[in-house]
Amino acid sequence: MFFKKKPVIVEAIRWLGTVKSLCEMETFLGDGPQVDFTENPPPMFIETLEGRMRAETGDWIIKGVRDEFYPCKPDIFEITYEAV
């Protein structure tokens, strides 16, 4: 059997690895993300339904249909989503 994903509009912002981007993430996520600025580029760690996940600089952070958050690699994001 084959299935087609239902069209769903999601909110997403891109983690850019900067202090400004961290401020935007804190506003978006509501619960403070953790960033390891000792690494270059700095990864960000967020709580998801599956537990703590690592987002690399350049990854998109998506707010899902149940207000859950998860990271998405840029190439997968570009294939799956388009701006509305």
pLDDT at residue 9 tops 80: yes
pLDDT tens digit string along 16-72? 999 999 999 999 998 779 999 999 999 999 999 999 999 999 999 999 989 999 999
Where exactly are the structural domains of the chain?
11-80
14-22 contact pairs (CB < 8 A, 24+): 14/58, 14/59, 14/60, 14/61, 14/74, 15/44, 15/55, 15/56, 15/57, 15/58, 15/59, 15/60, 15/61, 15/71, 16/57, 16/58, 17/41, 17/42, 17/44, 17/57, 17/58
What pLDDT is recorded for position 25?
94
**pLDDT class for 6, splitting at 50, 70, 90?**
confident
What pLDDT is recorded for position 57?
96
pTM for the full predicted model: 0.89
